Structure 1
Amino acid sequence: MSAAKRLVVCGGNGFLGSRICRYAVGRGWDVTSISRSGEPKWENVTSSATPPPWAHKVSWERADIFQPEAWAPLIKGADAVVHSMGILLEADYKGVISGRESPIAGLRKAFSPAAGRAAPPNPLRRAPGDELRPPESPAQLTYEMMNRDSAVLLAREAARERVGAFLYVSAAGGAPVLPERYILTKREAESILTSEFPQMRSVFLRAPFMYDSSRGLTMPLAAATGAGALFNRATGGIFGSILGSGGVKPLKANDVAEAAVEALSDETVRGPVEVPQIEELANKGWRKSML
């Protein structure tokens, strides 16, 4: 009997990351999650505050992505690594939700020019012992740092450990309400991973808007996004560049997670994976689970 596949998920306590952990556990994989807070606050990612049964089979580790000395040993011996991290807005969005910051102030930060921000260190040119921790101020957590550089940093360590597959949760597109740099940094990450780590099978899961009934707010947003996708299709896609992800069919978070696990298990899958292929992979994974 072959040994269980070993998977490390950075951002495994998030909305999508936790579901990737779930489906990997369902296949009998040995799963480790790495995040700053460790185990999820389950009421934030599921409909219950109680950990689901599969959660006890995941090793929930705490580490800062910008301090690889803390988490690099956890990657040793991994068959695959997932980067499921990033930010939608360059603002303290948790502060906005909790009332510590007004939504107007948060949007102002998000759309403020990038020129005034300090340039983040290049993770590929980082010398041993150099500090790469993001500034303590949430306002300085940039798209470049979270959507691009953290993925490059993780991929560098994975390549050093000769990890076979690396899955980066990208995006189907931007959105009219988001700065253009959101999707630009996603695409830059894809390009860097392809060129700098050719020996590693990189998969770029270009996920659309994801929804789940456990997050009530996502349901009406998914309906609106679905209407945008129908409109985009009816008009021949001429508004696709304007609508971004708002013109792409939304998917259930569980389907995207199952597709991610199936993509990692299928050696033929590499490079960008668009929504139609995500659906195909999810269906393929579902059929396997029924056998």
Structure 2
Amino acid sequence: MASAAKKIVVCGGNGFLGSRICKFAVARGWDVTSISRSGEPHWSTATSSPTAPSWSQKVSWQRADILKPATYSPLLKDADYVIHSMGILLEADYKGVVSGRQNPISALQKAFSSAPRPSANPLERGPAASELKPPAAASGAAQLTYEVMNRDSAILLAKLAAEQGASAFCYVSAAGGAPVLPTRYITTKREAEEVIAREFPGMRGVFVRPPIMYDSARPVTVAAAAATAAGALLNGVTGGVLKSFMGSAGVKPLKVDVVAQAVVEALSDESVRGPVEVPELEALAAKSWRKTML
């Protein structure tokens, strides 16, 4: 008798990586739900075509706010796998991010500041205070921070997934940080990994650490990957002695489809848990590809 299809919920499923995770999960015959603020992706930015691909019709594209559990917690019911595939590269005024009014210089100054931003422990939030509220910026508007988006939203989502009995939780972390990326960008991701692994031992935690990802659908990512590949080559030639100095600039870039395939394969393989680095991502993607060739 055929086994029931796995149910997967992808928070951030309309993004660059998230949409491709949905694609490969559909290919496995899984029941796929995407959660994001805008619902279905703007396909011209997610793929090379403005037309929705055929596989997208098999995804339930849901609108919700990751900072407001009441908007998405019912969607986690009976989920086998839950994925957190969202975050921010640069901190900025919440409304400024949406409207494009955020001053890029001030955004960079905030992002590269080493001082942690105030935030509440998502594990101690009761029903009366279930929402994650970003701290206010100087303008009075809400401020998206690494602590809230990269760490606290992931911990809260993992808590809700564990309560619903999910067997595995995948957190999209990162391979490296400074100097290319702000220090707090990577430290908040590592903090999320540590807390999730410690607090929810009954739920298999998979922490994928992708490098710079690229695809021709987003030309800017191809240029970034080319620069990173040069850094990774230099790091390799020097025997890795520059790894800690170069951060993400010294890690081999991967095509976004490779990472997406690896995520789906990692969830389906119960032996995979904990941090998943670039070499293992490549191996998992190759294993997934071989399965489609059989």
Structure 1's 141 and 67: CA in aligned 2 closer, same or farther, altered over 3 A?
same
Q: TM-score, normalised by structure 2?
A: 0.93
User: What is the identity, as a one-letter code, of the residue corresponding to 1:204?
Assistant: F
Residues 1:277 and 2:243 aligned together: no
Structure 2 CA distance for aligned equivalents of residues 99 and 124 of structure 1? 33
Structure 1's 93 and 284: CA in aligned 2 closer, same or farther, altered over 3 A?
farther
Paired residue secondary structure (2:128):
coil
Q: State the shift of 1:153 in Å.
A: 0.3
Deviation per CA, 1:50-101, whole angstroms, max 9, x where unpaired? 1111111000111111211221111111110011011111125995797533
Paired residue secondary structure (2:82):
strand
1:249 equivalent among 247, 252, 258: 252
Q: State the shift of 1:221 in Å.
A: 1.1
User: What is the identity, as a one-letter code, of the residue corresponding to 1:87?
Assistant: I
The equivalent residue for 1:132 is 131
User: What is the identity, as a one-letter code, of the residue corresponding to 1:3?
Assistant: A
The equivalent residue for 2:149 is 146
Structure 1 CA distance for aligned equivalents of residues 208 and 252 of structure 2? 15
Deviation per CA, 1:156-195, whole angstroms, max 9, x where unpaired? 0011011001110010010313221110001101100110
Structure 2 CA distance for aligned equivalents of residues 139 and 174 of structure 1? 25
Q: TM-score, normalised by structure 1?
A: 0.94
Q: State the shift of 1:103 in Å.
A: 2.5
Q: State the shift of 1:139 in Å.
A: 6.5
The equivalent residue for 1:25 is 26
Contact 2:37–2:65 (8 Å) recurs in 1 = yes
Deviation per CA, 1:170-229, whole angstroms, max 9, x where unpaired? 100103132211100011011001100000000000100000000001112111101100
Deviation per CA, 1:136-170, whole angstroms, max 9, x where unpaired? 76762110111111110000001101100111001
Structure 1's 94 and 126: CA in aligned 2 closer, same or farther, altered over 3 A?
closer
Q: State the shift of 1:129 in Å.
A: 2.2
Structure 1's 49 and 76: CA in aligned 2 closer, same or farther, altered over 3 A?
same
1:186 equivalent among 189, 194, 204: 189
Structure 2 CA distance for aligned equivalents of residues 225 and 72 of structure 1? 38
Paired residue secondary structure (2:119):
coil
Q: State the shift of 1:131 in Å.
A: 4.7
The equivalent residue for 2:229 is 226
Paired residue secondary structure (1:31):
strand
Deviation per CA, 1:89-140, whole angstroms, max 9, x where unpaired? 112599579753343232123224536x4x2221100011215243476762
What aligned pairs does 1:107-126 form with structure 2 within 5 A after superposition?
A: 107-112=108-113, 114=115, 117=117, 119-126=118-125
Q: State the shift of 1:42 in Å.
A: 0.9
Contact 2:94–2:144 (8 Å) recurs in 1 = no
The equivalent residue for 2:87 is 86
The equivalent residue for 2:13 is 12
Structure 2 CA distance for aligned equivalents of residues 94 and 67 of structure 1? 17
Structure 1 CA distance for aligned equivalents of residues 211 and 66 of structure 2? 24
Structure 2 CA distance for aligned equivalents of residues 163 and 67 of structure 1? 19
Contact 2:93–2:143 (8 Å) recurs in 1 = no
What stretches of structure 1 of length at least 5 have no aligned partner? none
Paired residue secondary structure (1:15):
coil
User: What is the identity, as a one-letter code, of the residue corresponding to 1:159?
Assistant: A
Contact 2:232–2:252 (8 Å) recurs in 1 = yes
Paired residue secondary structure (2:280):
helix
Structure 1 CA distance for aligned equivalents of residues 198 and 246 of structure 2? 29
2:268 equivalent among 262, 265, 268: 265
The equivalent residue for 2:76 is 75
Structure 1's 166 and 71: CA in aligned 2 closer, same or farther, altered over 3 A?
same
Contact 1:96–1:106 (8 Å) recurs in 2 = no
Structure 1's 177 and 93: CA in aligned 2 closer, same or farther, altered over 3 A?
farther
Structure 2 CA distance for aligned equivalents of residues 82 and 97 of structure 1? 24
Q: How many residue pairs get matched?
A: 289
Contact 1:124–1:152 (8 Å) recurs in 2 = yes
Structure 2 CA distance for aligned equivalents of residues 3 and 156 of structure 1? 25
Contact 2:5–2:29 (8 Å) recurs in 1 = yes
Q: State the shift of 1:279 in Å.
A: 0.2
What aligned pairs does 1:196-207 form with structure 2 within 5 A after superposition?
A: 196-207=199-210
Structure 2 CA distance for aligned equivalents of residues 91 and 16 of structure 1? 22
What stretches of structure 2 of length at least 5 have no aligned partner? none
